[in-house]
Amino acid sequence: MPLKAVVLLLAVVCVWCVEECACFPNGSVAFSCGNMMPVHPPFSPSTSSPPFTLTTSSSTYTPGGVISVTVEAVQNSSTEFQGFLLQARSREGNALLWPVGKFTNIDTTLFTALHCKNMKNSTVSQASGAKRKKVQLTWEAPSNSNYGDIYFSVSVVQDYTTFWVQLNSSALRLDSSGNSAAGVFSPSALLLITLLSLSANS
Ligand SMILES: *[C@@H]1O[C@H](CO)[C@@H](O)[C@H](O)[C@H]1NC(C)=O
Ligand SMILES: *[C@@H]1O[C@H](CO)[C@@H](O)[C@H](O)[C@H]1NC(C)=O
Ligand SMILES: *[C@@H]1O[C@H](CO)[C@@H](O)[C@H](O)[C@H]1NC(C)=O
Ligand SMILES: *[C@@H]1O[C@H](CO)[C@@H](O)[C@H](O)[C@H]1NC(C)=O
């Protein structure tokens, strides 16, 4: 192939990468942002039951509230994973293929913050191929109520040939009842609990 054609081909591939995937030139796992598919030709996603769980600290969320999200190997399993891609999604309207909200306090020595669909820190993946049994991240909900119920979706790479795509958490119901007092651990709820235990003791 003439040099010009090679350069052109590389340029096309690079543009595609910038738009479509979270590519890591240093050999870490690369994913596509949209379908969350690892770029691992010629292998396709595993259809067996995944040895990983995706859990959240709450089954509801409030606008602007934070949720802790955990991906980990099932109990007592020796399985480890070397790559993942995690984001929140909504089933409302055209948000279906877009991440929702953003991750906060991302430790960049462990994780790579990604800006899928140009949304800053909307998606997180690993920073290296180091094997892990568990990762935990903090997610902040959008400050509006436009997204309805949301869920988290993760793709997990055990190794080059074995990976699971778009494992979904249970849905988190939008709690837009107004102020933060709706949260279980809000100061007023804690005050109420304190008051209740005071009266129980008296
Ligand atoms: C995991 O291992 C512990 C200790 O061996 C055992 O008590 C527990 O039942 C196991 N849990 C599962 C889910 O197998
Ligand atoms: C995104 O995450 C990085 C790494 O933690 C942080 O430095 C940056 O301020 C974040 N940006 C936004 C818009 O949250
Ligand atoms: C791989 O590249 C990503 C993105 O540039 C970087 O954040 C990460 O630290 C690198 N990992 C290693 C092991 O060099
Ligand atoms: C997770 O949800 C997405 C969007 O509805 C769906 O395409 C995907 O198949 C689901 N994943 C699994 C493992 O069922």
Provide, for the chain, the percentages of residues in helix, strand and coil under a 3-state DSSP scheme, each rounded to the nearest 5.
Answer: 20, 35, 45
CB atoms within 10 A of CB 138: 15
User: What's the CA gap between 169 and 162, in Å, rounded?
Assistant: 20
User: What's the CA gap between 112 and 123, in Å, rounded?
Assistant: 9
Nearest residue (CA) to ligand 1, atom 2 = 76
> What is the value of pTM for the model shown?
0.77
Question: Which residues, in sequence order, are CB contacts of 60 under 8 Å at separation 6+?
Answer: 172, 173, 174, 175, 182
**DSSP helix/strand/coil, 118:** helix
Cβ of 111 less than 6 Å from ligand 3: no
Task: Write out pLDDT tens, residues 85-123.
Answer: 999 999 876 556 789 999 999 999 999 999 998 899 999
Task: Write out pLDDT tens, residues 10-42.
Answer: 444 444 444 456 655 444 678 888 889 998 888
Binning pLDDT at 50, 70 and 90, where does residue 192 land? very low
Are β-strands 60-61 and 173-174 bridged in parallel, bridged antiparallel, or unpaired?
A: parallel
Which ligand is the nearest neighbour of the Cα of 108? 2
Task: Write out pLDDT tens, residues 64-77.
Answer: 999 999 999 998 88
Nearest residue (CA) to ligand 4, atom 8 = 166
Which ligand is the nearest neighbour of the Cα of 165? 4
Q: Note the pLDDT of residue 117.
A: 86
User: What's the CA gap between 36 and 16, in Å, rounded?
Assistant: 15
Query: Angle CA(142)–CA(146)–CA(150) in degrees, nearest 5?
Result: 70
**Ligand 1 neighbours by CB, cut-off 6 Å:** 75-76
